[in-house]
Amino acid sequence: MQPIHILNGPNLNLLGTREPAIYGRESLTDIKAMCAAAADALGVSIVFEQTNHEGELVDQIQRAGKDGSAIVLNAAAYTHTSVAIHDALKAVAVPCVEVHLSQPAAREAFRDVNFVAPAAAGSISGFGAFSYVLGLEAAARLAKAGANANE
């Protein structure tokens, strides 16, 4: 099975120091290590990337559509603003699981707008760094089901 791409949007490189009361104390490096351990347990491989640039995130989604079996996406603020990311997700043939550290629905009203969710197979939010592990588990199940469906 091709790797699962775990893609991270803007400001997530600041995790661990950025508003820890909301986002937790784990750094993105800590989350990557958690995902690598979970991937090993699931018998899958991962590609883990972060960018602060919308166009680069679109490029990463497109690469994941060609080179991957699923996407775990924390689009961060782009969740609420990016039609381009929505369109990229709709254009690829691999499932996407949306993840968020916090619970956007319990936060500012502008976070009620979500361009990712309509293009994703499902969403996991509010569990801190563990949201990524849950998202990876879901993505692995979807990828394995898709791989089996094509056999």
Question: Could you give the maximum distance between any two Cα atoms of the chain, in Å?
Answer: 46
In 51-129, which ranges are E strands? 70-74, 96-100, 122-125
Taking phi over 0 as left and psi of -120 to 50 as alpha, with beta for the rest, 80 belongs to alpha
Report the alpha-carbon angle 94-95-97, nearest 5. Answer: 140
Catalytic residues: 23, 100
**In the numeric block, which tokens belong to residue 72?**
């775990």
